[in-house]
């Protein structure tokens, strides 16, 4: 929302709050978090929606974790060794207990990962383990992973919550993990209740438990905060509401750089868009800073590529597409799309942009439409429900579209998005980008197990991709927590992992 819409929303918000009843005092030591929906599945091998994954972070521990530089770091495992290019030997911590009291061992780890190799086990995560040949428990605290071929990014697939051996179908309803919180109950479309696990191996939480309340509406989540019936909201408030809350005497706003990436996808099979000069013109023509400043209210930063700047593999030395309409016009001229009538109404060319029907995406597409109009490109914006938009994207039924990649953490994302063998339905190369040099660099980086070599190869990939412009990079999201001002211990990492909640206290 901007302008008049934001003003109307602000008045409505204030009036609504004025009529709110006083909240029920919170239970001592319980932190109340407003979330957008119920989790779909509390079994971390299966549930992949965002809310489910947030619950997994609280109930379970991962074999390894992602640190603030987006590197794989110790979790339940202390580390790994590589006796050869296809073998990873993982060493476990000793004395880690599940919530029911039994010790975590190699049997639990092997069981978790062998689930993905079981042909009868249905999980959307199975594709990540397509190169995994077998997993076996070497001894009580050692696990061996053997791959079919070298794969330098395999360790990121060890960032996986561990379930107890024998966890069956009922586990999704009554989960047992090793995480900082024990599951108490889940009332669908209402709340999830967790209590602090006193035996947690990294020390007990600084609060007694969490109540995660389902509040689907963005405005209502804001109201819950305003009236004090919610303690905090993580990344689930519109930028305009966050902007209003910055001046609240009872709330505070905490931000940190995030990893979500917004972009305009381009169909390189389209006869107009297969010309690199046209794609580069789009990149120069779109005013990304205006989107960041006015629509995101500063809660983002312009992006130069898929990988976020805090990534160990991020390459800053790439072509930068700063807002430059004059350069866009020159590129369109070079591509043969001349201005047909000077300052007249006729366009150089026409394109269609498909977006989801959310309010923010409609507003963002309006900025993109106006930016392109100023360089003589007529943009037809068509909004759809997400399922319809996503179906069109997967089938290649588009010229341009806008979407976000959520939680970009590993440079293997470059392979999944830009390698020519990753076109749908086998991968995420939805714009049909194909470049033999890029493929070779990615293949070499994928096979390498030396991070210095991989960093150099991924840097070359990012430079070439920036030149080819198969995406218009828009922005990287800023994580934002709005919380009651009396809360302490809020420290959100790049991935906005909910594990930080164990340190939150009044």
List per-block mean pLDDT (blocks of 10 residues) for the chain, which spans 506 residues: 44 42 61 94 90 96 93 96 96 98 98 96 87 97 97 93 93 94 95 97 96 93 95 94 95 95 97 98 97 95 96 96 97 96 88 92 94 96 91 94 90 94 87 97 92 96 98 97 97 93 96
Let me know: does 30 contact 229? Beta carbons within 8 Å: no
| Residue 434 CB partners (closer than 8 Å, separation 6+) | 268, 420
Domain boundaries, the chain: 61-170, 258-478
Question: 155-166 b/e with 16+ CB inside 10 Å = b?
Answer: bbbbbbbbbbbe
- 363-382 burial by CB neighbour count: b if 16+ within 10 A, else e? ebbebbbebbeebbbebebe
Q: Is the dihedral of CA 281, 285, 289, 295 positive or negative?
A: negative
Query: Strands, DSSP E only, in 357-470?
Result: 377-384, 400-405
Q: What is the DSSP string of 153-192?
A: TGGGGG--B---TT--GGGGTS---SSSEEEEEEETTTEE
Provide the pLDDT for residue 420: 96
Q: What is residue 252's three-state secondary structure?
A: strand
Nearest to 448 by CA among 409, 415, 408: 415
**Are 415 and 422 a contacting pair, CB within 8 Å?**
yes
SS (H, E, C) 437-496: HHHHHHHHHHHCCCHHHHHHHHHHHHHHHHHHCCEEEEEEEEEEEEEECCCECCCCCCCC
Q: What are phi and psi of 279, to 5 degrees?
A: -65, -40
Report d(CA 428, CA 424) in Å as an integer.
6
pTM for this predicted structure? 0.84
How far is Cα 77 from Cα 75, in angstroms, rounded to an integer? Answer: 5
Could you tell me which CATH class the domain 258-478 is placed in?
alpha beta
**DSSP 8-state assignment for residue 126:** G
β partners of residue 356: 384
Radius of gyration of the chain (CA): 24
pLDDT value of position 48:
82
| CA separation for the pair 479, 494 (Å, rounded) | 7
> 61-170, what's its fold?
Dipeptide-binding Protein; domain 1 (3.90.76)
DSSP result, 62-95: BSEEE-TTS-EEESSEEEEEEEETTEEEEEEPSS
Nearest to 482 by CA among 235, 212, 180: 235
DSSP 122: -
Distance from C-alpha of 241 to C-alpha of 1, rounded to nearest angstrom:
9
Q: Name the DSSP letter for residue 27.
A: P
Using DSSP's 3-state secondary structure scheme, residue 40 falls into coil
Contacts by 23-27, CB closer than 8 A, 24 or more apart: 23/227, 23/228, 23/229, 24/229, 26/231, 27/208, 27/211
Among 262, 239, 278, 226, smallest CA distance to 405 is for: 262
């Amino acid at each position: 929302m901007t302008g008049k819409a934001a003003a109307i929303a602000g008045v409505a918000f204030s009036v609504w709050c004025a009529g709110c009843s006083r909240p029920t005092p919170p239970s001592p030591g319980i932190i109340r978090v407003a979330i957008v929906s119920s989790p779909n599945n509390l079994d971390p091998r299966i549930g992949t929606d965002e809310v489910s994954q947030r619950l997994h972070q609280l109930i379970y521990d991962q074999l390894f974790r992602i640190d603030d530089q987006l590197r794989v770091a110790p979790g339940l495992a202390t580390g790994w060794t590589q006796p050869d290019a296809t073998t990873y030997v993982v060493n476990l911590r000793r004395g880690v207990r599940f919530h029911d009291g039994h010790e975590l061992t190699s049997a639990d780890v092997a069981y978790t990962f062998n689930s993905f190799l079981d042909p009868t086990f249905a999980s959307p995560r199975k594709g990540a383990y397509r190169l995994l040949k077998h997993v076996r428990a070497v001894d009580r605290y050692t696990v061996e992973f053997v791959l079919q071929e070298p794969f330098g990014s395999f360790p990121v697939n060890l960032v996986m919550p561990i379930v107890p051996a024998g966890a069956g179908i009922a586990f999704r309803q009554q989960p047992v993990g090793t995480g900082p919180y024990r599951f108490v109950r889940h009332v669908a479309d209402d709340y999830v209740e967790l209590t602090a696990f006193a035996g947690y191996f990294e020390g007990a939480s600084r609060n007694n438990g969490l109540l995660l309340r389902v509040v689907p509406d963005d405005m209502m989540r804001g109201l819950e905060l305003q009236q004090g019936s919610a303690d905090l909201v993580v990344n689930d408030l519109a930028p305009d509401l966050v902007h209003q809350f910055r001046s609240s005497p009872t709330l505070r706003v905490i931000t940190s750089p995030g990893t979500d990436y917004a972009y305009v996808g381009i169909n390189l099979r389209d006869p107009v868009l297969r010309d690199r000069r046209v794609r580069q013109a789009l990149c120069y023509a779109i005013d990304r800073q205006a989107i960041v400043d006015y629509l995101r209210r500063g809660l983002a930063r312009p992006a130069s590529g898929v990988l976020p700047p805090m990534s160990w593999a991020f390459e800053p030395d790439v072509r930068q597409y700063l807002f430059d309409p004059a350069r866009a016009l020159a590129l369109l001229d070079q591509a043969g799309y001349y201005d047909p009538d000077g300052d007249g109404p006729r366009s150089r060319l026409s394109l269609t942009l498909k977006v989801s029907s959310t309010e923010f995406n409609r507003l963002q597409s309006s900025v993109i439409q106006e930016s392109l109009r100023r360089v003589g490109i007529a943009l037809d914006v068509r909004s759809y429900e997400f399922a319809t938009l996503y179906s069109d994207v997967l089938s290649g039924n588009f010229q341009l579209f806008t979407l976000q990649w959520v939680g970009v953490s590993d440079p293997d994302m470059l392979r999944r998005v830009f390698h020519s063998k990753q076109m749908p339905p086998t991968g995420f190369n939805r714009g049909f980008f194909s470049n033999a040099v890029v493929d070779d660099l990615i293949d070499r980086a994928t096979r390498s197990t030396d991070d210095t070599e991989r960093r150099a190869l991924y840097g070359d990939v990012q430079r070439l991709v920036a030149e080819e412009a198969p995406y218009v990079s828009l922005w990287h999201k800023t994580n934002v927590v709005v919380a009651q001002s009396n809360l302490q211990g809020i420290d959100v990492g790049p991935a906005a992992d909910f594990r930080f909640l164990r340190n939150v206290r009044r």
